[in-house]
Structure 1
Amino acid sequence: MSNNLLNKFLNPSEIKIPTLSHRNKYNEIENRADNIIDIHIKHPLNNTWVLWYYENDRRNDWTKNLKEITSVSTVEDFWSVYNHVKCASELKHGCDYSFFKKDIRPMWEDDANKNGGRWLVSLEKRQRESDLDNCWLEIMLCLIGESFGDYSDEVNGATVNVRQKADKIGLWTADGSKAKGESIMAIGRKMKERLGLDRSKNTAIHYQLHKDTQVKAGSLAKNTYSL
């Protein structure tokens, strides 16, 4: 391209300098673009979490009834999954949901669980429609939000058990030894606070070691701690 032709396109008299109103429009467009980008940016979680489902089918053994549904590693993934699965209150009696860190199976025998225990809260049948779903959601939000502070690494996951007489929500920790007593109690207090149970004198939560639960299931198991 010749210099004359180039100068024609670059003639200062023909170049339009953006006015203030133009600049405001540019800024508005830029802000809108930023908002669109924000919508598509996912917010990663500190851990990847896996949602499990246990089907109460007596024709199969326990391990065959346990199914991995999906994993979530961002806030957006979590809400997408939560909004597309049945609520805990809609599960059949004998069925469970479990929500655990990736690579930890929701069973006592798993290496990450075998030395631990769980905080348990029992909800009466009449509370199923009013409280169960809210409590289960709150526990999952505690998990993905690392709400247990310095003790979050000691929490492996949680379960919700739907049963004929009463439902249970369990918060599983990795180590139930006496040396971890302080952290276990701190986790239990946070659980009780987030579920709003600290305002109710009639609702207690109990911590049971998995090794004790394996020997005596349900309400017969020994309570190591209570709040």
Structure 2
Amino acid sequence: MTEIIEGQEVIKTALNDATDYNVTHGLNSQWTLWFDNPSRRTSTSNWTANLKEIVTVQTVEEFWGVHNNVAVPFDIPNGSNFHLFRKGITPMWEDTANANGGKWGYQFQRSIGEKVNEHWLNTLLACIGETFDSSPDVCGAVFSNRKNCFRIAIWTRNAADKVACENIGRHLKSVLGVNQPLEYLPHSESTKVAMYTV
């Protein structure tokens, strides 16, 4: 949508009018932010009730509006998680989009401090910007604040697709700027043995 001023069409974006823009930049997919604090749960049913859907974004402007107005990951309580998943996918292993998939993850020592916020933001931007070679296979991202570490993970749809999984893992390594190996764990594997390593 554009605005007509003195007979001329004027396009106002957030870049040239941060408060009264009339053009937005759509994302390829809609993404939903979720939050949970599992340290308070006592059973699976309570965990499901504790998982809260916060907001769905469909434009770049909405993403930044949300990002700038929610707690930074470093500040969420120990035991809590942020989840950013494609709209329609619940951040649970049982969701049909996740059931045959798995996750790439990396643990940061707590000594990294608030720099972890930057790593999480870079992960979010890679997701909403669809920068993974196999982006359609990315279901979402999870940030976990734990007593001894911070964890960032990317969840994928299909653990059997080695090429897609490894592409996603290599890109996550680049996004996080880490040199250590990342391991891919399928959701269905009860022994939690890494299926792939990049």
Q: TM-score range by the shorter chain?
A: 0.7 to 0.9
Misfit runs of 4+, over 6 Å: none
Unaligned runs of 5+ in 1: 1-28
TM-score (norm 2): 0.87
Seen in structure 2, the aligned counterparts of structure 1 residues 37 and 192 have a Cα distance that, compared at 3 Å, is closer
**How far apart are 1:106 and its partner, in Å?**
0.2
Taking structure 1 as the reference length, what is the TM-score of the superposition? 0.76
Conservation of the 8 A alpha-carbon contact between 1:128 and 1:167: no
Kindly report the root-mean-square deviation, in angstroms, between the aligned alpha carbons of the 2 structures: 1.9
Task: Tell me the distance in 2 between the aligned counterparts of 1:165 and 1:128.
Answer: 12
Q: Check 1:30–1:144 CA distance in 2 against 1; reply closer, same or farther (3 A cut).
A: farther
What SS class does the counterpart of residue 122 from structure 2 fall into? helix
Q: Secondary structure at the match of 1:168?
A: strand
CA drift at 1:204: 2.2
Tell whether 2:175 aligns with 1:194.
yes
The Cα of 1:58 is off from its aligned counterpart by 2.9
109, 118, 125: which one pairs with 1:141? 125
Amino acid at match of 2:113: R
Task: Look up the SS of the partner of 1:71 in the other structure.
Answer: strand
2:76 maps to a residue whose letter is L
Q: Is the 8 A contact 2:13 2:24 kept in 1?
A: no
Give the drift of 1:64.
1.0
- 2:123 corresponds to which letter in structure 1? I
Q: 2:72 aligns with which of 87, 90, 95?
A: 87
- The CA distance in 1 between the partners of 2:64 and 2:166, in whole Å, is 29
Q: What one-letter code is carried by the residue in structure 1 that aligns with 2:122? A: E
Structure with bigger helix share is 1
> 2:183 maps to what in 1?
206
* Residue deviations 1:28-75 (CA, integer Å, cap 9, x gap): x888x6243673201111100000000232357110110000000000
Task: Report the identity percentage.
Answer: 34
